[in-house]
Amino acid sequence: MSYFGSWLQFVKRELDSPPLWEQLAQGSTIVDSGLLGATVDTPFSPEEREAISRQIDAVRDYLARELPAGSAAVINTRLSQVETSLATQGRVTWGLAFVGLCTTLVWGGLMAPDQARAVLQMIASAFSRLITP
């Protein structure tokens, strides 16, 4: 019964949320245009990697509260993969990969569009100042 109550909350949130594609059609942005226009794909410094890792931990905490345990476990695996890639990918490549991950999670039904927006905003708070070298 406890899962049923959680499920009802998720359904209500989905029904109350404006569709992602309508938001985009109305001009709402999800990704900072600086990421899309950036051409310098410099590596992250150790301090930058640490700042983003802290935000990824905050994302994990947020999603643990928001999602059923099964969805959160799958997403945590993917978050660990993108966190590991901080050391090997440049900032632009990593940012685009992270946005792609969030989009895939929404399309796969593991995360609602409003949750993806919240996750992207959380990462953007640590990442946006790192776009320009």
More confident residue, 35 or 79: 79
Q: Could you give the residue ranges of the DSSP H alpha helices within the chain?
A: 2-16, 20-25, 33-37, 46-66, 69-84, 91-107, 113-127
Mean residue pLDDT across the chain: 78
pLDDT over 80 (residue 30):
no
DSSP reduced 3-state for 43 = strand
What does the pLDDT look like over 124-133, one tens digit per residue? Answer: 777 665 544 4
Least confident of 34-38, 43-47, 66-70, 114-118: 34-38
User: Which of residues 45 and 25 earns the better pLDDT score?
Assistant: 45
Residues 6+ apart with CB under 8 A from 105: 75, 78, 111, 116
The number of angstroms, rounded, from the C-alpha of 113 to the middle of its chain's C-alpha atoms is 10
Residue 15 tokens read as 């029904």
- Write out pLDDT tens, residues 35-53: 555 567 889 899 989 989 9
What are the structural domain ranges in the chain? 2-130
DSSP 8-state secondary structure symbol assigned to residue 17? S
Decide: helix, strand or coil at residue 78.
helix
41 CB neighbour count, 10 Å cutoff: 14
